[in-house]
Structure 1
Amino acid sequence: MQAARVSVALCTYNGAAFIDEQLASIAAQGDLVAEIVVADDGSSDDTLRRVRAFGQALLESGSPIELRLLDGPGGHGVTKNFERAVSACRHELIALSDQDDRWLPGRLALQLQEFDARPELLLLSADARLVDATGRPLGATLLQTLEVTADTRSALAEDPFGTLLRRNLVTGATVVFRRDLLPLALPFPREWVHDEWLAMMAAVRGEIALLEQPVVDYRQHGNNQIGVKPPTLANKLRRVLQPRGERNRQLAERAAILADRLADAGLDGPRQAAVQRAAAQKAAFERARADLPPARWRRLPGVLGLLRTGDYRRYASQGTTDVLRDLFQPA
């Protein structure tokens, strides 16, 4: 029997509809869970009462799991609320948890086996089973819907930082990471989603991995903070034709924040130097895209220049699709 060494960082905001089921699925992982840290972002529904009642039930049952609630007026937002939660975690491994999903039996045992076998592993993500609001399976998994192939997983294993510069492959609801990652990762930038930021920081320091097995039921309902859209032709065309200004500005801002953080992180060694160069080049690429002219016909020279250098292949999440985006999206 493995010792309890996992802190669960669970963030809530008006999650009364699903929080009981999620907490029960976490507690059902057994003795591997040492504590559940619930960070609430100002819920106005029944969430806080339900969380407190669950904590009291753990105490009365003699469970070794400690539930700690961080409440308050709220207004943190998803990223900063997760920063609060993970900062309060006290154990060797931290598992991230959304309020509306459901952990599958044996989830932690499976993921902890990977950490025990791989001392250099800093962050482990996995697949998830998509379910509807009632918990009924939708017949697909998260990685299938995001079109994550075996080649993509191999690229992540061989070059985690370069792969994640192109596109995020990590979903926070499936993540377990070593607490040793926090000194580099904190504070989380508001402009980044917490799971993407943690994955990038893990790729700087050590290994990350992506399990093919689903470890949670990833609930899709009308109020998801971050949902999943199927890769239909209509959705792909919609991405190509949506206005480009705000998206490209955000990509440039995020890339600049990453490059600045790594430049100031005191990293040394050839691997870290290569990571810093790649981050700076990614920032320059996204800035060039954001600065393309509003008129479509005037974008062509800039897009062709970035295409010739190979930057779309190295740094764009969708490759050829992003070339088309930059040429045809309205301003």
Structure 2
Amino acid sequence: MNSPSVSVALCTRNGARYLAAQVESVCAQVPPPDEIVVSDDESRDDSIAIVRATLARHGATAPALTVLENRPALGVTRNFEQAIRACRSELIALCDQDDVWHAGRLARIVDAFRSRPELLLLHSDARLVDGELAPLGSTLFEALEVKPSELAGIASGQAFAVLQRRNLVTGATTVFRRSLLSAALPFPPEWVHDEWLAAIAAATGRMDVLPEPLIDYRQHASNQIGARRPTLREKLAKAIAPRGTKHAERLRRAEVLLDRLASLGPQVPSACLQAQREKVAHQRFRTELPASRLIRWVPVLLAAARGRYERFDRGWQSVAQDLLESG
């Protein structure tokens, strides 16, 4: 079977410090991708010049380059949407400006897509490193406290159920089929692009995970989205923090996903659609809990006994949050 073509959707914003290493690691893949689409969000440094110069060093073997420049900046999700829309290959690899791909990463992923025509999206773990690429001693999945049961659920075809509890997909590690975009576009403003692509892929087809780290994921002061394991003190502080608007925002996200899935008709199995309706109902329940902690105890514990927190949230961690949050 022929290998599918690959586009890289690379979003930049003042990324000059790290871009050369990232683009070099992309070009060093065997075989290299067919094209790189750079969507730049109003950089005030020489980000684009660095991309061009790095590609020029590879001569005729360099991927084709498309550059889109945004004035004013679009923001992370809309910037990635623009880059993705411009990609022309069968597979699209999301790419952050400050990471480094491991040797053999693309071949490993392309082989999975070639051998599995039903596969829509594939993501992996990542090694956490500092700004100078020194290992921090842990991986992305360790920082996210990913459970073996969650990885097993995704691998067994139950990704939608896993993602209803929480997102595990990080864009920098993700490659997906271009055909996914017919259902996923446009990206709603309530969602981050990688979470949205994963949810749509899980609902309309098959997504999977590679448990090994395939990129170095830099953690530094300029990260727009980073990853680290929260401390016990931070978890406790979160549990007793004011409720604020976060539950209403999560409800809106769940409703937006339900609306999109309903609009896709037979592409979405009835079981997924019903599960999302139940997710919306659970999130509405959490949003409408009374301000008084004392009054919350009975409905929260009843919902927990019925398994709703285990199915749609992070189990007893979410139960504790609803019991202890103020306001």
- TM-score > 0.5, shorter chain as reference: yes
Moved more, 305-314 or 63-72: 305-314
Which residue in 2 is equivalent to 1:272? 269
The answer to whether the 8 A contact 1:4-1:31 is kept is: no
Residue of structure 2 in register with 1:10 after alignment: 10
Q: Which residue of 2 aligns with 1:284?
A: 281
Q: Percent identity?
A: 48
Q: Counterpart of 2:149 in 1: which secondary structure?
A: helix
Residue 304 of structure 1: aligned partner: 301
Are the counterparts in 2 of residues 39 and 82 from structure 1 also a CA contact under 8 Å? yes
Q: Which residue of structure 2 lines up, in the alignment, with residue 217 of structure 1?
A: 216
Distance (whole Å) between structure 2 residues aligned to residue 247 and residue 55 of structure 1: 43
> For each residue in 1:77-135, what CA deviation from the matched residue of structure 2 results, as whole angstroms up to 9, or x when unmatched?
11111111111110111111011111111110111121122221111100100000111
1:244-259 to structure 2, matched below 5 A, reads 244-259=243-258
Matched, 1:25 2:37: no
TM-score for both structures, normalised by structure 2? 0.94
Measure, in 2, the Cα distance between the counterparts of 1:7 and 1:120. 19
SS state of the match for residue 210, structure 1?
Answer: strand
Could you tell me which amino acid in structure 1 is paired with residue 16 of structure 2? A
The alignment status of 1:319 with 2:315, answered yes or no, reads: yes
Shift of 1:75: 2.9
Q: Which residue matches 2:325?
A: 329
RMSD: 1.8
Distance across 1 between alignment mates of 2:234 and 2:107: 37
- TM-fit CA distance, 1:2: 6.4
Q: Is the 8 A contact 2:93 2:174 kept in 1?
A: yes
- Output the amino acid matched with 1:272: P
Per the TM alignment, residue 250 of structure 1 is displaced from its structure 2 partner at its CA by 1.6
Partner of 1:121: 119
Q: Conserved in 2, the CA contact under 8 Å of 1:10 and 1:36?
A: yes
Amino acid at match of 1:273: S
Alpha-carbon deviation of 1:297?
1.5
* From 106, 109, 112, the counterpart of 1:108: 106
Q: Which amino acid aligns with 1:229?
A: R
**Cα distance between partner residues in 2 of 1:98 and 1:74:** 20
How many angstroms apart in 1 are the aligned matches of 2:55 and 2:62?
A: 11
**After superposition, what is the alpha-carbon deviation per residue over 1:207-238, rounded to whole angstroms, capped at 9, x for unaligned?**
11111111100000011111112143223223
Moved more, 61-70 or 89-98: 61-70
What number of residue pairs does the alignment pair up? 326
Judging changes above 3 Å, is the alpha-carbon distance between structure 1 residues 2 and 220 closer, same or farther for their aligned structure 2 residues? farther
Distance 2:72 2:17 in 1: 19
Structure 1 length as normaliser, TM-score? Answer: 0.93
State the secondary structure of the residue aligned to 1:228. Answer: coil
Q: CA-to-partner distance for each residue in 1:62-83, whole Å, 9 max, x for gaps?
A: 2241011111203321111111
Identify the residue that residue 198 of structure 1 maps to in structure 2: 197
Structure 2 segments unaligned to the other structure (5+ residues): none
Identify if the C-alpha distance between structure 1 residues 242 and 46 changes in structure 2 by more than 3 Å, giving closer, same or farther.
Answer: farther
Matches within 5 A, 1:62-211: 62-158=60-156, 159-211=158-210
Is residue 12–residue 99 contact of structure 1 (8 Å, CA) maintained in 2?
A: yes
Q: Which amino acid aligns with 2:139?
A: T
Unaligned segments of structure 1, at least 5 residues = none
Cα deviation, residue 3, structure 1: 4.8
Q: Distance in 2 between matches of 1:34 and 1:135?
A: 27
Distance in structure 2 (CA, Å) of the matches to 1:200 and 1:4? 23
Whether the 8 Å contact between 1:3 and 1:31 is mirrored in structure 2 is no
